[in-house]
Amino acid sequence: MADEQDDRAEESVPFYGRIFNRKFFSILALGQLLSWLLCGTGVFSQLLVTNHGIEIPTTQSFLNYLLLGIVYTTALACHPSDFKTTLTERGWKYFWLALFDVEANYLVVKAYQYTNLTSIQVLDCFSTASVLVLSWIFLKVRYQCIHYSGVLICLAGIACLVVADYYGSRYYGSGANQAIGDVLVLCGAIMYGVSNVAQEFVVKNFSRVEFLGMIGLFGSIISAVQMIILERHQLSAIEWDYKIALYLIGFGLCLFLLYNLMPVAMKLSSATVVNLSLLTADFYSLLCGLFLFHYKFSALYLGSLAFIILGVIVYNLKPTPSHPSSSGAQSLSYRQLEEDSAQQTEDSSSSSSLFGCDITPGCCQELRTVPL
């Protein structure tokens, strides 16, 4: 009865009102903010490599994980019983997730040694494809034709960038180095996809604080060990000045803010929508490249931005449904920090487990980003 009333109420709202509502504009604006932050990480990495010849990808990401640990792991530790439960039941899974995340950042930043900013940003959009596949497999998302259409329109925007780059005749490095850079970015994009899908699951079933706290804890440890093993000689050889310090701090802060806001965006929408929105980072990277790296302007850049925004709009024509949260997810006390106390349900049927939360065909519907 309540569902019928909701359906009638929704039908009474004009078509454009169901699309261009406050939630849509919130998702769109947040997605563009994330794109600027992602663009910032790329620009600072390119400046370090181009202007100073500094190649320390793990060190660049370490500041982000350290800040996450200071803020969110501390918040988790303020509730010892919940913290212990999280470490005991799901800690090893967060360790592997953090390892994927650290290595994804390492591979993408490492690629700046072999190729340039735009090439990396364009290839990094492969993470969208990996998110689509992984969401279909693990989150049981079932997309409709309109969602595939939205993705294809976004990819048409990326194609505009590729064409603009080709006719702009910008320098991309030697063929061998370019191939190495491409492989590094593609591997990193796949790992980003794994991290993003797992992140969507956690923030919708447990807590943003839990996800960021565990990633900060294990990411700090993993990146610190890797930094000592792989980059100690590069760090000792750097002739430090204020510009290098500012570039490293800028990269770390952009990545830290990106990690803070990504779970918020995923809770409002899904990993797929967030990744589609992040495609505009390619456009913003080109704008920065015009002023910092002397790229040539092309009208196709504007066409690319228009295609990507249109693709996100088309994808959101079918809004994300809101359902009760899945079974087995614990109600953690620190959720009150975010006002995320969702009602938990019990289900005794057999199911597979991801992060300690049961997933059955009927109990985790809120993870389906589109209606069946």
**37-84 tens-digit pLDDT:** 999 998 998 899 888 988 899 999 999 999 999 999 999 999 888 899
pTM: 0.73
pLDDT at 365: 33
Picking from 359, 356, 360, the residue whose alpha carbon sits closest to that of residue 332 is 356
Picking from 90, 55, 310, the residue whose alpha carbon sits closest to that of residue 181 is 55
pLDDT band at 212; cut points 50, 70, 90: very high
Q: Which of 71-85, 88-102, 189-203, 223-237 has the lowest mean pLDDT?
A: 189-203
pLDDT at 144 exceeding the cut of 60: yes
pLDDT at 284: 86
Picking from 345, 341, 369, 367, the residue whose alpha carbon sits closest to that of residue 354 is 367
pLDDT at 154: 83
pLDDT at 176 exceeding the cut of 70: no
pLDDT band at 360; cut points 50, 70, 90: very low
3-state helix, strand, coil in the chain (%, to 5): 75, 0, 25
Question: Could you say which DSSP state residue 141 is in?
Answer: -
Instruction: List, as one string, the DSSP characters of 144-161.
Output: -HHHHHHHHHHHHHHHHH
* Beta carbons within 10 angstroms of residue 99's beta carbon: 17
Query: Bigger pLDDT: 162 or 160?
Result: 160
Picking from 208, 306, 277, the residue whose alpha carbon sits closest to that of residue 32 is 277
pLDDT at 147 exceeding the cut of 90: no
- Mean pLDDT rounded to a whole number for the chain: 76
pLDDT at 18: 57
Any alpha helices (H) in 172-315, and if so which ranges?
A: 175-205, 208-237, 242-268, 271-278, 280-292, 299-315
pLDDT at 116: 66
- Tell me the C-alpha distance between 64 and 50, whole Å: 22
- Secondary structure of residue 44 in the 3-state scheme: helix
- Phi and psi dihedrals of 227, rounded to 5? -65, -45
Residue pair 263/199 in contact (Cβ under 8 Å)? The answer is yes
* Beta carbons within 10 angstroms of residue 130's beta carbon: 20
pLDDT at 221: 97
Residue pair 40/208 in contact (Cβ under 8 Å)? The answer is no
Question: Mean of the pLDDT values across residues 187-198?
Answer: 87
Question: Mean of the pLDDT values across residues 233-260?
Answer: 93
pLDDT at 302: 82
- Tell me the C-alpha distance between 363 and 360, whole Å: 5
Q: In percent, how much of the chain has pLDDT > 90?
A: 28
- Secondary structure of residue 353 in the 3-state scheme: strand
Question: Mean of the pLDDT values across residues 19-35?
Answer: 81
- Tell me the C-alpha distance between 155 and 292, whole Å: 26
Picking from 104, 126, 105, the residue whose alpha carbon sits closest to that of residue 44 is 105
pLDDT band at 163; cut points 50, 70, 90: confident
* Assigned token pair, 28: 């769109």
- Secondary structure of residue 336 in the 3-state scheme: helix
**Residues 307-317 pLDDT 10s:** 888 888 888 77
Residue pair 263/211 in contact (Cβ under 8 Å)? The answer is yes
Question: Mean of the pLDDT values across residues 117-142?
Answer: 76
> Per mean pLDDT, which of 142-156, 204-218, 310-324 is the most reliable?
204-218
pLDDT at 158 exceeding the cut of 60: yes
Q: Tell how strand 357-359 and strand 352-354 pair up.
A: antiparallel
pLDDT at 370: 34
